[in-house]
């Protein structure tokens, strides 16, 4: 009985402590944009990566249609894929989930048999002229943008790629409704080849298994019933896109996923495909083998990033410094100096860059240069700990 009472009070204690100290887990914020084009208030859901308040990082942006349905899963996925220790799959990114007010109106490029359809042109004008400027003004963005849409959202993604390719760098069309309005958009795509406007554009097409039992992606093409119109239109699109060379394209059929389950796995595969230039990992040998040009590897990686993103990207200060610190601990002093000097070159106003190379000079017995660089660091940031360290060094 005593054991039961003890267990009871322990449970009560932990419940009380957890209850008193609980905090909300927040992954984003709700923002609003009033659209003069659509004549209505639009709700958007925005996630911005956690950041050191002293950093001035900027991020690529993912624009996500049907935001209420997909925002949480996409944010969680990007957080995971951009945070794998030492081997990230994609960059940290801002996610903008666009909530619907009238989904059929906004996500259909032409009028169909459904009432109040065909407002896609106005919707994309809203995205181009009001939403993107709002995000760029109020959040730390880069110019690299990805557009993701499912079903009618996928139709909108394809329509944007065809008619306004400049808006986004990468496009993800998830089981798009290419059957819409008697395949109007599909026929338009097939009648005009992709051209130089689509250079450096990436498209990932996810195809769900929406067929009846007994059919496969080959036999379904011979079917003429309305039940298979959806997948037949997508397969037709996929076949055509495979012939286009101006576009970086990959289509994938998901045999074990239906229309409702396919968004998650398609987004995962799409991110890996779009950012196939992003993954980079140094090996243990890179740090300990003096014959390996580790600096050259890192510089070539950032050249690859610059090409992939279409803008020059400087080597990240924190990443470069961390490599230098590891090399310093392994007594690879010459290589460590290369990395610390790279940060001084790229970030001449960085307190940390001068402190780190000061630590290198201290470790190699060059007291004079260590003091000089510590003083330079303190002139940039009056750090009390470094001042104490400098004072102690000057006494010796």
Q: What does the pLDDT look like over 133-174, one tens digit per residue?
A: 999 999 999 999 999 999 999 999 999 999 999 999 999 999
Reported as type and span, the H/E element at residue 95 is strand 94-98
Nearest of 153, 138, 151 to residue 94 by alpha carbon: 138
The Cα 101–Cα 266 span in angstroms is 25
Question: How high is the pLDDT of residue 84?
Answer: 72
Q: Which residues contact 166 (CB under 8 A, 6 or more apart)?
A: 197
CA angle at residue 90 from 306 to 152, to 5 degrees? Answer: 105
Reported as type and span, the H/E element at residue 32 is strand 29-35
Residues 232 and 302 in one domain: no
Cβ(153)–Cβ(67) below 8 Å: no
In a domain, 367, yes or no: yes
Max intra-chain CA distance, the chain: 89
Boundary-marking domain end, from 227, 244, 274: 274
pLDDT bracket for residue 269 (50, 70, 90): very high
Structure tokens at 324: 């230098």
SS3 307: helix
Residues 203 and 238 in one domain: yes
Residues 156 and 223 in one domain: yes
Is the pLDDT at 386 greater than 70? The verdict is yes
What is the percent of the chain where pLDDT is above 90? 85
Residues 270 and 314 in one domain: no
Lowest-confidence segment of 49-53, 172-176, 340-344 by average pLDDT: 49-53
Residues 98 and 159 in one domain: yes
In a domain, 200, yes or no: yes
Mark out the alpha helices in 82-228 (DSSP H runs).
103-106, 120-126, 132-138, 152-163, 180-191
Cβ(378)–Cβ(369) below 8 Å: no
Characterize the bridge pairing of strands 59-64 and 170-174: unpaired
User: For residue 331, with 0-12 CB atoms within 10 Å meaning exposed, 13-18 middle and 19 or more buried, which class applies?
Assistant: exposed
Q: Which domain, by its residues, includes 199?
A: 29-274
Residues 290 and 270 in one domain: no
Is the pLDDT at 326 greater than 80? The verdict is yes
Domains contained in the chain, number: 2
The Cα 56–Cα 47 span in angstroms is 17
């Amino acid at each position: 009985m005593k054991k039961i009472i003890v267990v009871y009070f322990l449970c009560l204690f932990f419940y009380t402590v957890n209850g008193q100290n609980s905090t909300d887990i927040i992954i984003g914020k709700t923002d609003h944009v009033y659209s003069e084009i659509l004549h209505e208030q639009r709700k958007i859901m925005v996630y911005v990566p956690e950041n050191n308040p002293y950093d001035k990082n900027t991020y690529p942006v993912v624009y996500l249609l049907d935001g209420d349905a997909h925002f949480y899963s996409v944010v969680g996925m990007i957080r995971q894929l951009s945070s794998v220790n030492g081997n990230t799959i994609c960059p940290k990114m801002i996610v903008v989930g666009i909530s619907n007010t009238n989904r059929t109106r906004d996500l259909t490029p032409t009028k169909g048999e459904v009432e109040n359809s065909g407002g896609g042109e106005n919707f994309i004008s809203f995205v181009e002229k009001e939403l993107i400027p709002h995000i760029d003004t109020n959040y730390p963005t880069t110019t690299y943008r990805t557009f993701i849409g499912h079903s009618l959202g996928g139709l909108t993604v394809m329509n944007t790629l065809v008619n306004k390719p400049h808006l986004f760098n990468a496009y993800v069309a998830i089981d798009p409704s290419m059957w819409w309005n008697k395949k109007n958009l599909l026929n338009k795509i097939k009648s005009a080849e992709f051209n130089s406007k689509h250079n450096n554009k990436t498209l990932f097409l996810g195809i769900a298994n929406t067929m009846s039992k007994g059919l496969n992606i080959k036999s379904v093409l011979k079917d003429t019933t309305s039940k298979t119109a959806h997948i037949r239109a997508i397969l037709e699109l996929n076949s055509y896109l495979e012939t286009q060379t101006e576009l970086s394209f990959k289509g994938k059929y998901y045999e074990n996923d239906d229309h409702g389950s396919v968004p998650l796995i398609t987004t995962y595969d799409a991110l890996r495909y779009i950012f196939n230039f992003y993954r980079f990992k140094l090996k243990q040998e890179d740090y300990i083998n003096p014959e390996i040009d580790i600096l050259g590897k890192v510089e070539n990686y950032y050249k690859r990033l610059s090409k992939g993103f279409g803008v020059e990207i400087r080597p990240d200060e924190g990443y470069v410094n961390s490599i230098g610190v590891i090399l310093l601990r392994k007594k690879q002093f010459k290589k460590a100096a290369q990395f610390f000097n790279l940060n001084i070159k790229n970030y001449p106003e960085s307190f940390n860059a001068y402190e780190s190379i000061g630590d290198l000079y201290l470790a190699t017995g060059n007291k004079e240069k260590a003091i000089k660089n510590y003083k330079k660091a303190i002139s940039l940031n009056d750090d009390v700990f470094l001042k104490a360290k400098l004072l102690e060094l000057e006494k010796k």
